[in-house]
Amino acid sequence: MAAQRKYPAELRERATRLCLEARRDPETRQGAYRRIAEQLGVHPEALRTWVHRAETDEGLRPGTTSDDAARLKELEREVRELRRANQILKSSAAFFAAEFDAHPDDREARLHRRSQARVRSRTDHPGVAGHPRPDRSIKLLRRQETATLGTHAA
């Protein structure tokens, strides 16, 4: 959870503006941070930080702007999430690779197989009792033969 801000945004903007104006004038430059901070009831270091950030955002001082810092923070969070996802994928890939590298007999032992009991009647066979086997194409071949015979006779 983010820390609660001690000073409102309007006060920070006003203090920063006053300090920047005071620093432009050579007569009021000396002690501007301390004097303005006392007038507004703000800690001088907080005011100095606000002024430095404002100067950086305006391009008057070298450094990372607030927008760039926010974008960097967002990108770093995204990189952390992607690295975590990659780590999960790597560990799952290693797990499944070990599963496939196992001896074939070990893999088959884990599968559920139909019991090898004796066949008791014709209905125990696949494809019997009105259920044709899908791998049989005899009827298809016969249909093709009759179709080709009809075209040659005409």
Answer whether 33's CB lies under 8 Å from 48's CB: yes
| In this structure, CATH architecture of domain 9-63 | Orthogonal Bundle (1.10)
Q: pLDDT tens string for the chain (154 positions)?
A: 556 668 899 999 999 999 999 988 888 888 889 999 999 999 999 999 999 999 999 888 898 899 999 999 999 999 999 999 999 999 888 888 777 766 655 555 555 556 666 656 666 565 555 555 555 555 555 544 445 555 555 4
